[in-house]
Chain A
């Protein structure tokens, strides 16, 4: 590659390895920059303005954030986000439990695994409608069951003390299915010699699970926690479908609150909405940074 006479060809040949990656990256970086990276910066900028989305923007500094600090809806949303995050974590042990239950080799087990995974494949809109019906007072399946057992009628989604939990339960359904599939594949890659050795030493049941299996499932657990955290903080669809933030705004989370402020009948307050989005973004960045730092460690070791 060193002694080539034609000049343009020699330039290309000499620098091919340096230029080629940028050519391959160009379409992806352009699209991702235009629709993801640049809008993040724009949103941060917009959060310092008062803007209805059409007219002129008016610079107001930190006023949106100051207003946010004294907005009750903001605290309700934040509290609900935390509730989502905590309860969503249940999908990790529950997903593991179902994966362990299904990790057998009886006839037809493949079909069972697929059917258990079903809730993750269908749209959250459909999940939301299904659960709205499931919870519906008088004729919903669940309230039917509750009525038979306790004798009283419960309207879960109309009760501001219960509604958030009702929506979270609906979200857990597909999330557990997702975690289950991660663990099922994780269980496939487990070192069976080590299990047999531990069994020889008399390890059984919980002991075996806790000391041998769970440590080996580390990578699957990590991914399960990441997708669960992201899923919890991204929750929007189910709230929009099942309660529209109600009753009395009690099921709002930051993502839905932001949407309401920026784009719905509550008024086109783009600047205020952007400020809410920035807060949510910063919360998520904590988790994203932790995730990326750990990936970086893995890359260095690889």
Chain B
């Protein structure tokens, strides 16, 4: 193991490490902690210049209630869910199929198609912006959640295919071959042999795509205009314009917007990290 485990080091190093850990964490998360504290600070504190001190009393309930009562943030969050969940299902579903195709069949175009998915996944969004927006306007999907769902599903399919293909490549190919020899149809091989083995990959990918799509801001500003379809990222930004200098509300709103992906991360932590590294290092 590198570096040398602290257990093997001198006692003062061990103690020093244990003390240093929480200090480093607090320093690392200082901006976030500042926001968390501000979100429970009464408005009066800010007016009186008490920005960093201990809040004069706990105003968390009143701030968070105000955010939900006086702004459409609840609606924005609902929109985010309405956009994110179908996208996760669509992109992961599609990529189970395409990943299976690219991992188990030998045909000439195989690697080319694979690299098209990989390369497409890294391009700048701006090269897609004008045509995708125009297409959505012409098909009546501009300013609706459907335009965003379809675009995100298609775009994320690139990363998901890369991920699924690499995962299936790691499965024992003999399983598939022996089924073929027994005359099992290709669809049944996929459905009954490979798909059950893909559960961990599906879980990891779902968490990952959930955070990616939830946190999207660019496409939300390009494809949506009004409140009715706006997800929470773009919504928070427009609220920021209304809450000028009301930092206790901006902070509470930020925490609310960040909470779903953070909760997702903590609930599915193992899958999330497996996902990031599986998709990455095996490429």
- Whether a CB of chain B sits under 8 angstroms from the CB of A16 is yes
B130 with A112: CB separation less than 8 A: no
Q: What is the 8 Å Cβ interface bit string for chain B, positions 238-255, against chain A (1 contact, 0 not)?
A: 001000000100110010
B257 with A126: CB separation less than 8 A: yes
Q: What is the 8 Å Cβ interface bit string for chain A, positions 231-265, against chain B (1 contact, 0 not)?
A: 00110110011000000000000110011001100
- Whether a CB of chain B sits under 8 angstroms from the CB of A105 is yes
- Whether a CB of chain B sits under 8 angstroms from the CB of A190 is yes
Task: Please judge, given known A-B contacts A24-B98, A209-B2, whether A263 and B222 are in contact too, CB under 8 Å.
Answer: yes
A233–B62 Cα distance when bound, in Å, is 41
B186 with A16: CB separation less than 8 A: yes
A29–B97 Cα distance when bound, in Å, is 11
- Chain B positions 8-54 with a Cβ under 8 Å from a chain A Cβ: 17-18, 21, 24-25, 28-32, 34-35, 38, 46, 49, 51-52
The 3 closest A-B pairs by CB, nearest first: A28-B98, A35-B154, A24-B101
A71–B28 Cα distance when bound, in Å, is 40
- Whether a CB of chain B sits under 8 angstroms from the CB of A185 is yes
B126 with A276: CB separation less than 8 A: yes
B2 with A100: CB separation less than 8 A: yes
Residue of A whose beta carbon sits closest to that of B160? A28
A118–B259 Cα distance when bound, in Å, is 11
The smallest C-beta distance from B182 to any residue of chain A, in angstroms, reads 12
Residue of B whose beta carbon sits closest to that of A119? B32
Most A-side CB within 10 Å, residue of B17, B98, B110: B98
Residue of B whose beta carbon sits closest to that of A31? B154
A173–B28 Cα distance when bound, in Å, is 9
- Whether a CB of chain A sits under 8 angstroms from the CB of B203 is no
Q: Report the count of interface residues on B (CB-CB < 8 A).
A: 98
The smallest C-beta distance from A31 to any residue of chain B, in angstroms, reads 4
Q: Which residues of chain A have C-beta atoms less than 8 A from B157's C-beta?
A: 28, 31-32
- Chain A positions 3-54 with a Cβ under 8 Å from a chain B Cβ: 16-18, 20-22, 24-25, 27-29, 31-32, 34-40, 42-43, 46, 53
Q: Choose among A20, A195, A258 the residue that contacts B1 (Cβ–Cβ < 8 A).
A: A195
- Chain A positions 194-242 with a Cβ under 8 Å from a chain B Cβ: 195, 208-209, 212-213, 219-220, 223, 226-227, 230, 233-234, 236-237, 240-241
A100–B1 Cα distance when bound, in Å, is 10
Binding site for A on B (CB under 8 A): 1-3, 5-7, 17-18, 21, 24-25, 28-32, 34-35, 38, 46, 49, 51-52, 94-95, 97-98, 100-102, 104-105, 107, 110-111, 113, 115-120, 122-135, 150-151, 153-155, 157-158, 161, 183, 185-187, 190, 211, 214-215, 217-218, 221-222, 233-234, 236-237, 240, 247, 250-251, 254, 257-258, 261-262, 265-266, 269, 273, 276-277, 280-281, 283
A186 with B31: CB separation less than 8 A: no
A104 with B17: CB separation less than 8 A: yes
A236 with B218: CB separation less than 8 A: yes
B31 with A173: CB separation less than 8 A: yes
A254–B57 Cα distance when bound, in Å, is 46
B236 with A28: CB separation less than 8 A: no
Q: Which residues of chain B have C-beta atoms less than 8 A from A18's C-beta?
A: 107
Q: Choose among A114, A178, A240 the residue that contacts B217 (Cβ–Cβ < 8 A).
A: A240
Q: Which residues of chain B have C-beta atoms less than 8 A from A29's C-beta?
A: 98, 113
A32 with B132: CB separation less than 8 A: no
B158 with A36: CB separation less than 8 A: yes
Q: Which residues of chain B have C-beta atoms less than 8 A from A28's C-beta?
A: 94-95, 97-98, 117, 157, 161
Q: Which residues of chain B have C-beta atoms less than 8 A from A129's C-beta?
A: 35, 236, 240, 250, 254
A104–B262 Cα distance when bound, in Å, is 24
Task: Please judge, given known A-B contacts A43-B130, A129-B236, A255-B125, whether A104 and B98 are in contact too, CB under 8 Å.
Answer: no
The smallest C-beta distance from A36 to any residue of chain B, in angstroms, reads 5
Q: Which residues of chain B have C-beta atoms less than 8 A from A233's C-beta?
A: 124
A34–B21 Cα distance when bound, in Å, is 49
A234–B34 Cα distance when bound, in Å, is 28
The smallest C-beta distance from B146 to any residue of chain A, in angstroms, reads 13
Most A-side CB within 10 Å, residue of B190, B234, B236: B236
Q: Choose among B49, B102, B118, B261 the residue that contacts A25 (Cβ–Cβ < 8 A).
A: B102
Q: Which residues of chain A have C-beta atoms less than 8 A from B3's C-beta?
A: 100, 103-104
Residue of B whose beta carbon sits closest to that of A105? B5
Q: Which residues of chain B have C-beta atoms less than 8 A from A234's C-beta?
A: 124-125
